[in-house]
Structure 1
Amino acid sequence: MFGNKIQSVWIEQSEIPNYYQHPICHICKRRMMVKRSKSLSPEPSSSSESKRPKIVEDGQTNGRMAHPNMLDLSDDVLLNIMKYLNPQDLMSLSSCCQRLDQVTQDRTLWANVDFRSRSMLLHELEKYVKFLQPLTTSLAIRGNQDPEKFTGLSQSFFNAIKVVCNQLKELIIEDYCIDGNKIQITDFPTMIEKLSLKGSMMCHLQSNKSYFFKIDVHMPNLTCLILSNCQWFTPHSLLVISKIPKLKELRLDSCHRLGECVAYASLATRFGFKTLEILDLRDTALGDSEICCFSSTKTLTHLYLECPPILRNAESAEQQQQQQQQQQERLQRQAAQRPVFEDRNLVQFLVEDEFLWENFERCLISDRAICALGSYVCDRRVQNSIEDVVVIEEDRRIFNNPHLRTLVVRHYPRVTNHSLVHLALNASSLEYLDVTGTAVTKDGVQMFKSQKTNVKVVSSFDET
């Protein structure tokens, strides 16, 4: 009586109430199943177009297999799936059909774009420019350092980024080659706040001018600059970078050309780096004089220092054993001859300066640089002068690096317990300290921990 308006459904035996468990009801059930089997057709009926077919648990329907189709999912579900895919997979998915091509170009999928899952050549990179959106805020790419396959970035790529991504805040370019004659720092997007050139190569650089010339004017909003493993970076660029008005994070780790540069470091820290908070100088050849210059940076909160492996292993094993033996002998003699005194319940271990300078050809970081961090500067001015009497105002102590929270000093043999004593007394904001591979002793570390209970200390004496 209901005709074709009856909608076919599966009725399991367990779902039928007890009062329907009757022979007549079983006959009706068989008739409904026959009608349902006759109504199956390749084309969907008009009454069932708006509803999705129900998939049977056993996966079979009268001898036919029911396979779910990805296109049966809604756009919202597809977007939730696609947000876990990398841009390369999204581009491959867009080539399947027109609907997937439309979904993959949704602006929410291209807000933060990271192509670093695999290296990309220039001709591949240009294919992805069409997917970038005006709301793209982060773009990361990685090249190939193989000389046979290495391809530099082009001017057209930077022009496309500046035109399409007008709200770009973060640009990460790793392991690419940049031609200094074709691409200047002024060709980069001007609105970015984070720039990374990690592992990039530079060719045809001008010898009389830094590559970062006028970066402070071109990128006034830049807060983070990462130049890790940039072998082309030279010390004179420090002075140019220090002029960036909002720079908070500077990473120069593994820049092996960054060595003795007291003049540039002194000028840069005296007149620039007014907002610098994070400074990474690991795996560089900087010494005491350069690090002491950064002690005047009042805003510094994180400082990372680590001796390069090539300098760390420069001495032979025999020389190292001799130095360790000499150090133990000197410590024993001084313990017997000099009194060990306490300052605020922290034992001070005295180390002779002349021993620290033996057998070292290159000036590495020592206690002198560490003790400059957190120290104070006396500022006493002449108020009046009457004949032979000079009136000087009271001593005003200005502490350096008052906000220093993280300090990493690794594998420097000249850093001793004297640095621990100084940091315990003067680094009031310190929260994390790493002195792995230095000449500090286990007793010195324990005494530091007892004095600074709120500081997490990492050393060579930690139990593994």
Structure 2
Amino acid sequence: MFQAGIPNYRSSDPYYYQYFVCHMCKRKMKVKRSKSLSPEPSSSNEYKRPRIANSGDSDNDYLECRLLNLSDDVLLNIMKFLHPQDLMALSLCCQRLEQVTRDRTLWSNCVDFRTAPTLLEDLEKYVKFFRPMTTRLRIRGNLQSNKHRGLSQSFFSAIRATCQLKELTMEEYDIDADKIQITDFPKMIEKLSLKGCRMHHLQTDKSYFFRMDFHMPNLTCLILSKCNWFYPHSLMVISKMVKLKELRLDSCYRLGECVAYASLATRFGFKSLEILDLRDTGLGDSEICCFSSTKTLTHLYLECPRSPRPVYCYEHDPRPYRPPQQHSTDPRLRVFEDQNILELLIDERRIVPYFDFERCLVSDRAICALGSYVCDRTILNNIQDMIFVEVDRRVVNNPNLKELVVRNYPRVTNQSLVHLAANAPSLEYLDVTGTTVTREGVEMFKSQKPGVTILSSFDET
């Protein structure tokens, strides 16, 4: 009745007309669907690989999917996982990829270049990708390479004009203080990190951070880790930052004996400071006692330097180290007056900062200054055989202290544990690894403060 799928014409067959109409309708619907301009439910057919019916089909039936065959949306989803250096390389391939890599979604929020050292020339090329939505910029250089040059004024001008930065992280770059001043940085940043940066041509009559409190009123976090050029007198300026909550000065080797600066800075400034990192510095009991007057402090990190580090006048001074000699005060040294505080700055080319290793050892005296304590009662009146004394007056220095790290100080003993157990009501974490506290002292502290996590040299590894 039928041959090769085509019905044989038989007018006398009653089912022939019904079958013929159904067959023609199916063919018309198939042609109509193929010519339709409406999109497919999933994606366009031109980007789909044909299905291989049998595993034994030849390779000629396989359509290779190339990068440029993907849609822009798919390319953007892939590029979100790439580093900025990779995006720059893709932008140089062709015009289409260059347009896709400029999409604002790839350069919004946080842009982190720290996966590899970035040359200044590359940074200036990346500026064209930045958008006003770029709020966090993180870059890293390489001080050991001769190819890396210091940051330029044009780079700072470009990011100020293009981005609305709230975080700027610059690590291991050379900064010329004659060309780049603190007022050249973006004004509205809330977090600034100069970790490991090297500063040249510092002025001797004022701090590099002079008037920083007026230029960056929203700054809440300042990281100066491994900044060997940081001098103690800069504490005066930094303490005026009204919103500053986090200050990290770990491994600032020039930060040694500075009782005068620390006392004034903590008495009149640091009104909002919560996190203070002073690890691997030359500060001693006197300086730590000054910081104990900071009532808003919640996290304090202290760690003894591994060894006394001589600091040269210049970072690459080939001459061998010689211990500093005592110099008499030279009346020719310049001074300047900042409101009501007179600062005497020592010329860094004359005296090599060097701290005494014995003096920088923190002891129980500094730890017992933290928390709250009872002041000595004073005699109010003495009438014949009757003595009137003042009632106990409890002074709270750091009522909000939650985390304390005191590592590798041999002069910290069980006395500090006894004091903290009684006078640190908000303490949650304590690290006394490397100190001379005993196992009995640690057990006593745990029994009195069961809610505090304590780390010591007696912990099982």
- For Structure 1 versus Structure 2, the TM-score category normalised by the shorter chain is 0.7 to 0.9
Query: What is the identity percentage for the equivalent residue pairs of Structure 1 and Structure 2?
Result: 71
- Alpha-carbon distance, 1:76 to partner: 2.9
Q: SS where residue 415 of structure 1 aligns?
A: coil
Question: 1:65-76 to 2 correspondence within 5 Å?
Answer: 65-76=62-73
Q: Does the 8 Å contact 1:377/1:400 carry over to 2? A: no
Alignment CA distance shift 1:204-1:390 (3 Å): farther
Aligned residue in 1 for 2:439: 442
Q: SS where residue 298 of structure 1 aligns?
A: coil
Question: 1:159-170 to 2 correspondence within 5 Å?
Answer: 159-165=157-163, 167-170=164-167
Structure 2: runs of 5 or more not aligned: 1-22, 28-33, 310-355
Which amino acid letter does the alignment assign opposite residue 433 of structure 1?
L
Aligned residue in 2 for 1:105: 102
Alignment CA distance shift 1:95-1:150 (3 Å): closer
Aligned residue in 1 for 2:128: 130
Q: Does the 8 Å contact 2:282/2:357 carry over to 1? A: no
Q: CA RMSD in A?
A: 3.1
Alignment CA distance shift 1:239-1:385 (3 Å): farther
Aligned residue in 2 for 1:417: 414
Alignment CA distance shift 1:288-1:73 (3 Å): same
Q: Deviations over 1:9-36 (max 9, x none)?
A: xxxxxxxxxxxxxxxxxxx9xxx9xxxx
Question: 1:394-405 to 2 correspondence within 5 Å?
Answer: 394-405=391-402
TM-score, with structure 2 as normaliser: 0.76
Q: Does the 8 Å contact 2:307/2:357 carry over to 1? A: no
Q: SS where residue 448 of structure 1 aligns?
A: helix
Q: Does the 8 Å contact 1:420/1:448 carry over to 2? A: yes
Aligned residue in 1 for 2:115: 117
- Alpha-carbon distance, 1:96 to partner: 2.4
Aligned residue in 2 for 1:245: 242
Which amino acid letter does the alignment assign opposite residue 150 of structure 2?
G
Which amino acid letter does the alignment assign opposite residue 52 of structure 1?
N
Q: SS where residue 89 of structure 2 aligns?
A: helix
- Alpha-carbon distance, 1:102 to partner: 2.0
Aligned residue in 2 for 1:18: none
User: Given the alignment, which residue of 137, 147, 156 partners 1:149?
Assistant: 147
Which amino acid letter does the alignment assign opposite residue 369 of structure 1?
A
Aligned residue in 2 for 1:25: none
Which amino acid letter does the alignment assign opposite residue 194 of structure 1?
K
Matches of 1:140 and 1:293, distance apart in 2: 34
Matches of 2:117 and 2:249, distance apart in 1: 23
Q: Which deviates more from structure 2 when the two are superposed, residues 70-79 or residues 439-448?
A: 70-79
User: Given the alignment, which residue of 52, 56, 78 partners 2:45?
Assistant: 52
Q: Does the 8 Å contact 2:372/2:394 carry over to 1? A: no
Q: SS where residue 137 of structure 1 aligns?
A: strand
Alignment CA distance shift 1:361-1:248 (3 Å): closer
Q: SS where residue 89 of structure 1 aligns?
A: helix
User: Given the alignment, which residue of 368, 373, 376 partners 2:373?
Assistant: 376
Which amino acid letter does the alignment assign opposite residue 103 of structure 1?
V
Matches of 1:383 and 1:462, distance apart in 2: 50
Aligned residue in 2 for 1:215: 212
Which amino acid letter does the alignment assign opposite residue 181 of structure 1?
D
Matches of 1:250 and 1:269, distance apart in 2: 13
Aligned residue in 1 for 2:19: none
Which amino acid letter does the alignment assign opposite residue 272 of structure 1?
G
Q: SS where residue 77 of structure 1 aligns?
A: helix
Q: Deviations over 1:116-157 (max 9, x none)?
A: 111111111111000000110000111111252231000000
Matched, 1:172 2:165: no
Q: Does the 8 Å contact 2:135/2:167 carry over to 1? A: yes
Aligned residue in 2 for 1:338: none
User: Given the alignment, which residue of 287, 292, 295 partners 2:289?
Assistant: 292
Q: SS where residue 63 of structure 1 aligns?
A: helix
Q: Which deviates more from structure 2 when the two are superposed, residues 361-370 or residues 420-429?
A: 361-370
Q: Does the 8 Å contact 1:379/1:397 carry over to 2? A: no
Length, aligned pairs only: 377
Bigger share in helix: 1
Structure 1: runs of 5 or more not aligned: 1-27, 33-44, 313-358
Alignment CA distance shift 1:392-1:161 (3 Å): farther
Matched, 1:280 2:277: yes
Alignment CA distance shift 1:287-1:68 (3 Å): same
Aligned residue in 2 for 1:37: none
Alignment CA distance shift 1:62-1:154 (3 Å): closer
Alignment CA distance shift 1:456-1:67 (3 Å): same
